[in-house]
Amino acid sequence: MSTDTGDQYQEILQGLYGMLERFPTRNIDLQEQTDLVADMGLDSINVMELLQEIEDRFDIIVPLNVMSDVRTVQDLATQVQRLIRENS
């Protein structure tokens, strides 16, 4: 990972933490390996809200089908980074 993409990834990750904290997090410490459903307990409505926030924040559009491969915060950050790159 070049420094640029590394920085961008960190920025995305911090942005995601900020958004995720507003959901009921069951008082867990958010980390890259935190599982959105198993650890955080997000339901399908939460996921939908989260996606819309992500889209507005990063000005991208996230296909719902991509989400079936996303389990952890890290997976999500990686997908967001990929979509940002595809868009630019």
Partner 1 sequence: MSISKRFAELEHIRSALNEADADPGRIVMERMLSATEAEIAGRRTILAGTNNYLGLTFEPGILEAAHQALCEQGSGTTGSRMANGSFASHVALERSFAEFYGMPAAMIFSTGYQANLGILTGLLRPGDKVMIDAHSHASIYDGCRLSGADFFPFRHNDPEDLRKRLRRLGDDARGALVVTEGLYSMLGDIAPLAELLAVTEEFGAYLMVDEAHSLGVYGEQGRGVTEAAGILDRVDFITGTFSKSLGSMGGYCVSRHEQLNLLRYGSRPYIFTASSSPANIAAAHWALDHIRSHPELRETLWSNVARLYGGLKELGCTLGAEPSPVVAVRVGSHDEAARIWNELLAAGVYVNLVVPPASPDGASLLRCSVSAGHSPEQIDTIVTAFGEAISRTAFAGACCSGQA
Q: Which residues bind partner 1 (CB under 8 A)?
A: 43-45, 48, 51-52, 55, 59-66, 87
Least distance to partner 1 from the beta carbon of 43, Å?
A: 6
State how far the Cα of 53 lies from the Cα of 48, in Å rounded to an integer: 9
* Residue closer to partner 1 (CB basis): 20 or 62: 62
Contact 13, 19 (CB under 8 A): no
* Residue closer to partner 1 (CB basis): 17 or 51: 51
Tokens in use for 69?
Answer: 């491969």
Closest alpha carbon to 78 in 28, 16, 22: 16
Least distance to partner 1 from the beta carbon of 1, Å?
A: 26
State how far the Cα of 32 lies from the Cα of 53, in Å rounded to an integer: 19
* Residue closer to partner 1 (CB basis): 21 or 86: 86
Place of tokens 């809200």: 49
Least distance to partner 1 from the beta carbon of 74, Å?
A: 22
